Amino acid sequence: MDISTALMILTAVVTYLIWLSFISRSMKGPRVWPLLGSLPGLIWHSSRMHDWIADNLRKCGGTYQTCVVAIPLVARKQSLVTVTCDPKNLEHILKARFDNYPKGPNWQSVFHDLLGDGIFNSDGETWLFQRKTAALEFTTRTLRQAMARWDPQTLSLEFPENGFAVSFDTATEATLQRFILPEIVWKLRKSLRLGMEMSLTQSLEHIDAYLSDIINTRKLELVNQQKGGNENPHDDLLSSGAFVPAGSSITYSIYAIGRMEFIWGDDCLEFKPERWLSLDGKKIEVPDSYRFVAFNAGPRICLGKDLAYLQMKSIAAALLLRHRISVVPGHRVEQKMSLTLFMKYGLMVNVHPRDLGPILERVRKNALTNSNHACGIESTTPVS
């Protein structure tokens, strides 16, 4: 190698390192490594990814920007990722500028094997058509019928394994790995059927068979499927002041939103069910949907929200009326990394029968009192 070539290489390396130093200082999120950006940190913390993102958001005041490829020209555009948990930013993204933030090709590519071109993985007119079609099925009547028709029996005493639930959990866990790894890596693993890509293929076969059976039973078909697109996204400025260039990516951490002091106060990490109750304790008061984003918000708010609440209330009422439930002492409660959080070791509990005698007696007395009032009968205490 002659001196001129060596000087050119040295100049290029020094120039790149100066650029990297500048770009790293301008991004206040996780460390940006040469060439690989923040990917090493994400992969290193993949076993606790949600907590790692929450830690970074907490340090950065609720919003940060990073890049997944630290190369000039793309680090501030295609590989730029804006991460936020600020409710004002969420309202901006999910409602005020909804049309400017489609799922995009990266998301759709990762999810295509699991979700295809369905409502969770489409944009524009295609999404709108499917949304309107699906909304017809989410009425009180159809929700109750669905609960009665497809009871998975997972709470029966035999604790049978639900093949669909296991397959879906495996599929979402494998899909999360696609988000973490560069596209070229997970596509290579898919073509070679390596790691969880093999498990994903097997799980999808089971999911397809299960859902096809339901669809055939219900005899529902989508007709006149329309294809549509969005207008090209534009540069944007979030409520927090973060500049989001067109073509970059943006994500919000629902997990982190529930763990931020500036949103919920100093006791945000404490288990306090009463925070959801009104001051008099008589009714549930759910915060605005941009602070409590479990069911998403804006035009894409979950159509199954009412079904989820109905199921939770039904199960809680049936179980807690007749049983006292306590977590087994020493049981390890830990989340498993997946797109949808579930427990790594399940939740082992002790179930004790509840004495319904006092409850039934109280109900009987209340019913008798109400009956007496309705008949105009009042009980009085004679004065001696």
For the record, the structure tokens of 107 come out as: 């998301």
d(CA 83, CA 99): 19
* Coil, helix or strand at residue 353: strand
Residue whose structure tokens are 């009412």 = 306
Q: For the beta carbon of residue 111, count every other beta carbon within 10 angstroms.
A: 20
β-strand partners of 335: 343
* Residue 338, burial from CB neighbour count under 10 angstroms (0-12, 13-18, 19+): buried
**What number of helices (H) and strands (E) belong to the chain?**
14, 9
DSSP collapsed to 3 states, 275-307: HHECCCCCCECCCCCCCCCCCCCHHHCCCCHHH
Q: What one-letter code names the amino acid at 192?
A: L
pTM above 0.85, yes or no: no
For the chain, give every domain's residue range: 1-101+237-269, 104-232, 304-378
Sheet with 63-67, strands from edge to edge, namely: 63-67, 80-84, 249-252
d(CA 178, CA 104): 15
Cα-to-chain-centroid distance, residue 317: 25
Shortest CA distance to 264 belongs to which of 95, 54, 36? 54
Mean per-residue pLDDT pooled into runs of 10, the chain (384 residues): 82 90 89 91 89 94 92 86 94 92 87 86 87 77 64 65 84 86 86 87 88 71 46 84 90 91 91 84 82 89 84 86 90 84 86 83 79 54 42
- Model pLDDT, residue 222: 45
d(CA 174, CA 338): 8
d(CA 245, CA 92): 15
Q: What one-letter code names the amino acid at 151?
A: D
β-strand partners of 37: 33
Q: Is 297 in contact with 91 (CB distance < 8 Å)?
A: yes
Q: Is 32 in contact with 24 (CB distance < 8 Å)?
A: yes
Q: What one-letter code names the amino acid at 164?
A: F
